[in-house]
Amino acid sequence: MTSPILPSEPVETVVLWDPLLRVFHWALAISVAAAWGLGRFGPDQMTLHFWFGYAVIGLLAFRVLWGLFGPRRARFSSFIYGPRAVLAYLRKMGARKPSYWPGHNPMGGLFVIGLLAVLLAQVATGLIADPEDYINAGPLAGLVGTDTARTALGLHDILGNLLAAMVLLHVAVIYFYRLWKHEDLIRPMLTGRKAVLKKG
């Protein structure tokens, strides 16, 4: 086991993630994993898949509201950065030291927005998808034409693969930060507290 790298700049431990955001994070992880697994591996009647999908819809609705009106660090405005900031952070990302970033860093913020967009598209296509098996049609499939419903089904499958790839990337980055940068990103999402650079 490698020893932690001592910070060259003063840091402090602050409360970063509020309780509702932390509950949302883990509830979303469970709901997405369950919906994806049930969609891929059955059972053939996807009632449970649908219910976990509805849970994802509810959680996404909460996250959008929290991103607009929640605590400062939960708001989209706190982690949406321009291309210059993203590239500047990316250039320093390989440094073998913690970032002590106070919230989602520019790369993390970009990933969050991308993940939320894919999830929104995933649930939208699921609501209108129709495999024409008379069992597993989305609850809103009757509101669109057959061609649209079948296209939505294909997109739902593609987006599921993309979502799985994004989750694997997320886990890989967590391990990269833990093993290379000596920065634990899991504990703050459990306790809400994180070491950040001290202001002033």
pLDDT of amino acid 200:
56
pLDDT at 7: 52
* Confidence category of residue 2, pLDDT binned at 50, 70, 90: very low
Q: Tell me the average pLDDT of the chain.
A: 92
- Rounded Cα–Cα distance for residues 53 and 39 (Å): 10
pLDDT in tens, 118-168: 999 999 999 999 998 878 899 999 999 999 999 999 999 999 999 999 999
Q: How many CB atoms lie within 10 A of CB 48?
A: 15
Q: What's the number of CA atoms in the CB half-sphere (13 Å) around residue 104?
A: 22
Its CATH architecture, for the domain 11-197, is Up-down Bundle (1.20)
CB 75 within 8 A of CB 104: no
Give the rounded percent of residues in the chain with a pLDDT score beyond 70: 96
Is 0.85 surpassed by the pTM of this model? yes
pLDDT, tens digit, 9 for 90 and up, residues 80-126: 999 999 999 999 999 999 999 999 999 999 999 999 999 999 999 99
- Predicted confidence (pLDDT) at residue 6 exceeds the cutoff of 80: no
Q: Is 170 helix (H, G, I), strand (E, B) or coil?
A: helix
pLDDT (0 to 100) of residue 8: 58
- Please determine, for residue 32, whether its predicted confidence score (pLDDT) is greater than 60: yes
Single out the residue of 142, 177, 163, 136 nearest to residue 37, CA to CA: 163
Residue spans of the domains in the chain: they are: 11-197
12: left (phi over 0), alpha (psi -120 to 50) or beta: beta
Residue with the larger pLDDT of the pair 69 and 4: 69
